[in-house]
Amino acid sequence: MEKSATRDGYGKALLELGRQNKDVVALDADLSDSTRSEYFAKQFPERFFSMGIAEQDMIGAAAGLAFSGKIPYASTFAVFSERAYEFIRNIVSRNRLNVKIAGSHSGIATGEDGKSAQAIEDIAAYRVLPNMVVLQPCDAAECEKMVFALADYKGPSYMRLHRNAVPVIHDSNYKFEIGKGEVLRQGKDAVIFATGTLVHETLKAAEILDKEGIKVYVVNIHTIKPLDSNLVIDLAKKTNYVVTAEDHNVIGGLGGAVAEVLSENYPCLMKRIGMQDMYAESGRPDELYKKYGLDAESIAEEVMKFVSKKK
């Protein structure tokens, strides 16, 4: 199966979008080679703005471009985007400006760069901002669809991208829609809502669980905000056992979002898999996933313990 990083999908789609729409502009904070916005920069240098290591300037400039009718895509590492948080809040979010923020190298999958570069709080930070759409593709193909969908969406957004190559599970016929979760696998004993790289680990975990006689739904939640609340409630009612899986702090991330919906609409047993309110360390992504319980085997083990409560 083909593998590609979501950041590669971002760069590829941004370049093609630039060819189709002359109002699209791109900005970066001295990381265009890593975020892949350099694809756009090489083809359209007159529409690309390298802001240096100055994320606040990047967001301020993006806001001005949006105000003048352009469609700006501003990218940097996820953790560095937070340097501009006050600008994002007071200029972009508060005024509902049409700025598309892309945060690459998110989660502990960033690996050897260590805890200072592993953003595990960004979903929570952006999800709390009014008017902000928060997205996280699970593969490069979905990311491409997402980039184009955001060009049609009028308003601020944050797209969470990854450094590491993962299997491409979608094809060109995939229909992406902001705010609509995707059921990848049917089940009956529990439902696992996963996002980003954890979609792939969860699909592998489902295979392990199947051999143990446990059938689980696997749902790709590419849009954390607005969350597909109807789907969350529907599958919770069908199983009564809900699991979330994410490469992010369980506080404020996908787990928090799902818990908020269920607490007010359909309280049931729930398990949040993710970083348990702690930072990771430097290491290979696969080693870190195993140590912190984010790999397929660990997810399967947690779900087996969780589902056993039914008995």
- Catalytic machinery residues: 55
Is omega for the bond preceding 156 within 30 degrees of 0, making it cis? no
Which whole-number Å values give the CA distances from 288 to 110, 118, 282, 307, in the listed order? 10, 11, 8, 25
Strand extents, DSSP E, the chain: 3-4, 24-28, 48-50, 71-77, 100-104, 133-135, 157-160, 166-167, 182-185, 190-194, 216-220, 223-225, 241-249, 269-275
Q: What single string gives the DSSP state of each residue in 51-105?
A: --S-HHHHHHHHHHHHHTT-EEEEEEEHHHHGGGHHHIIIIIITTT---EEEEES
Question: Can you tell me the distance from the alpha carbon of 163 to that of 159, in angstroms, rounded to the nearest whole number?
Answer: 13
Question: Can you tell me the distance from the alpha carbon of 261 to that of 250, in angstroms, rounded to the nearest whole number?
Answer: 15
CA angle 279, 285, 289 (to 5 degrees): 65
> End-to-end CA distance of the chain, in Å?
38
- Cβ neighbours for 260, distance < 8 A, ≥ 6 positions apart: none
